[in-house]
């Protein structure tokens, strides 16, 4: 599995407070080791085909798209990122 980030993800990640950045990095390391780990609380986005959310905290989410062997991290932030994943 190869993991890529979108430009939007990079910008949004840089805007997160440092504590959330560290937590997100830990979740992404866990995702790289085991993409289906229960603590990621993966959920398919019903409104978008092929898009999933990863729970960083109770209020922070990462959206990702899985295409073959590649994963693209699309957005990171509050639940509002789920409105336009």
Tell me if residue 29 falls in helix, strand or coil. helix
User: What are the b/e assignments for 65-79, b being 16+ CB within 10 Å?
Assistant: beeeeebbbbbbbee
Residues across the chain? 85
User: pTM value?
Assistant: 0.86
Nearest to 83 by CA among 57, 54, 46, 56: 46
Structure tokens at 49: 């085909």
- The class (CATH top level) of 2-77 is alpha beta
Q: What are the angstrom distances between the C-alpha of 35 and each of 42, 43, 76, 81, 83?
A: 9, 12, 17, 20, 23
pLDDT given for residue 66 in this prediction: 85
pLDDT given for residue 64 in this prediction: 92
Q: What is the mean pLDDT of each run of 10 residues along the chain (85 residues)?
A: 94 95 96 93 81 92 89 88 69
The contacts of residue 26 (CB under 8 Å, 6+ apart) are none
């Amino acid at each position: 599995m190869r993991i890529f980030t979108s430009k939007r993800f990079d910008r949004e990640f840089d805007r997160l407070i440092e504590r959330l950045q560290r937590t997100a990095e830990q979740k992404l390391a866990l995702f790289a080791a085991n993409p289906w780990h229960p603590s990621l609380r993966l959920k398919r986005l019903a409104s978008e085909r092929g898009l999933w959310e990863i729970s960083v905290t109770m209020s922070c989410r990462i959206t990702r798209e899985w295409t073959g062997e590649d994963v693209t991290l699309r957005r990171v932030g509050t639940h509002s990122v789920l409105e336009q994943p």
